[in-house]
Amino acid sequence: MSFPKAKVFTIGDIVPGAENIPCKQFNNIRGVDVTNRILTFANQVGGKFIYMNDDFFVTAKLRADVPIFNGDLAINDIHPTHYQIAVKNTIDFLEYFGHPIKNFETHSPVLMDSKKLIKTFEQLNWKEDNHFIKSIYLNVNQPKETRAGTNLKLSNCDIQKAEQFLRDYGCFSTGDAFINSVGSNWIKNLTLILEAPPCFE
């Protein structure tokens, strides 16, 4: 385990070994529901925290304070409608207030500050439609450092790519195809692989 002293919270869903913050599903709009969960944490617990999903795998090399972006946000016809709506709403908000439109939707953990998060989302009607909490927060509250990178989600079981992402970024995200294959056993043995040098040299 890379962060043995970390205090882990889940918001909504109960996971053994993690402290749970009850939070009912807000609605069926994913971006709205996610923002509601993270704001619930910010209001009830507060402080600085690392926001990540339950399909992320991280190592001690992770720099959540140096978020990874993948170019600028752009509407792409290959994405489903709900995703395109989230992109448009996020761009519209950021451009209206003169902020950059970097694409931080890279399936990687990010460091957030509760006070800044709450203040940021007081500026928009986040309950109305889909949007991207990471790209809004990080473009409004620009970190000292950011890192150009790529989307770290692996839809297929590409172990070689997963090892590359862990070496380069200290994290990766999995899809069902990865978990439901030999990737599952590889992840179970991941600690032994990652702690052995020269993986991060």
Output the pLDDT for position 1. 41
pTM: 0.90
Phi, psi of 67 (to 5 degrees): -65, 150
Report whether pLDDT(64) > 90.
yes
**Cβ-based neighbour number of residue 128 at 10 Å:** 10
Output the pLDDT for position 3. 67
Confidence of residue 134 (pLDDT cuts 50, 70, 90): very high
Output the pLDDT for position 201. 33
Closest Cα to residue 86, out of 27, 148, 152, 134?
Answer: 134
What is the rounded average pLDDT of the residues 22-47? 95
With beta carbons less than 8 A apart as the criterion, state whether 182 and 159 touch. yes
Judge if the upstream peptide bond of residue 198 is cis by omega within 30 degrees of 0: yes
pLDDT, greater one: 185 or 71: 71
Q: For 90-100, how does the pLDDT look when each residue is reduced to its tens digit (9 = 90+)?
A: 999 999 999 99
Output the pLDDT for position 199. 36
Place of tokens 């190592």: 59
Report whether pLDDT(152) > 50.
yes
Q: What are the residues facing 110 on neighbouring strands? A: 51
Report whether pLDDT(110) > 70.
yes
What is the rounded average pLDDT of the residues 40-58? 95
**Cβ-based neighbour number of residue 23 at 10 Å:** 18
With beta carbons less than 8 A apart as the criterion, state whether 114 and 48 touch. yes
Highest average pLDDT, of 16-25, 131-140, 185-194, comes from: 131-140
What is the rounded average pLDDT of the residues 121-127? 95
Highest average pLDDT, of 36-40, 176-180, 182-186, 195-199, comes from: 36-40
